[in-house]
Amino acid sequence: MDSVSIDNEELAECVKTRAVELGFDLVGIATLGPAETSPEFEAWLAAGYAGEMGYLERGAEKRRDTRLPFEGVRSAIVVALSYGGREPAGPVARYARGDDYHDLMWDRLDALHRWIEREIGHVIRGKAYVDTGPILERDLARRAGLGWFGKNTMLINPSIGSFFFLGALLLDLELAPDAPFELDRCGTCTRCLDACPTGAIVEQHVVDATRCISYLTIEAKSEIPAEFHAAIAEGGHVYGCDVCQDVCPWNVRFAEELKEPAFAPREVIAGKDARTLAGDLLAMEPAEFSAAFRKSPMKRAKLAGLQRNARVVLGRTTANDAGAS
């Protein structure tokens, strides 16, 4: 083994140690190149499963090859941050109850980038991705050894389940990679497919977003089709859905307690059942909404979207029904 490879391996271990010190729960290093799952992703788009999420079609070339985000990029540090899978189920998906994860993870990835530069002694070009660019982060995470793709399409780690965010720091720096996660540990289990309230997992590893409650209550801007109203109302899904994760045996056994204060439920959500939260949302004015949901990922749906969801949960089919009992 030559000195360069030794240096790369030692630096890689130091980087992973520092990432954990910064608060990340999982970290691995991946080599870059053609994205293994890009053909499946493009077939998914072609099938119309993305619904109104037209932005997912942008940046196709970068999505197909992780060497393209910027010239000279050579390695990806892939991280995961738990958001508390042991928290009780509720009207808001667990990931969205506290502050926006994008900002927190970007800040930590930036801190990791700056630390590496100090250790190396010179500027290193880099770019952080947290669910916002044309990068297949699950692909990189599996390549970095962080887990496998569950039948519900979530990345599952054998130590902490799937209730975590993914991020990646791409660098113009050679780092010794981790071994990819090669095994699929779902076996014959189909609990996620069987439990999905709307049948959105149309086959193993394929989710039709247009049927998914998370898509319908977060990403979709149009009215929610009537065929899904009963499932949303009965489940009390005001924003998002965790059902396919809740039933996963890996989460039942290994999901972690909430330990990141930024992800704790904010006051406007904490302790409320679906009907109470829905009623509160329908009574909100824009200024009140902006104050209550400052720095919240729920702002993505905007007040109009949340009130649409609230009406469905309460069985009110139109905005004119909002004042009905």
- Positions annotated as catalytic residues are 131
Asked if 130 and 101 count as a contact pair (C-beta separation under 8 A), the reply is yes
Return the structure tokens found at 86.
């042991």
Return the structure tokens found at 305.
């979207």
Nearest partner of 232 among 265, 274, 190, judged by Cα: 274
Return the structure tokens found at 241.
């859905």
Write the DSSP string, 118-187: HHHTS---EEEESSSSS--HHHHHHHTTS-EE-TTS-EEBTTTBT-EEEEEEEESS--PPPPP----TTT
15-20-22 Cα angle (round to 5) = 95
Give the integer Cα–Cα distance in Å for 236 and 217: 11
Return the structure tokens found at 170.
């791409």
C-alpha distance from residue 145 to each of 62, 69, 108, 173 (Å)? 22, 22, 21, 19
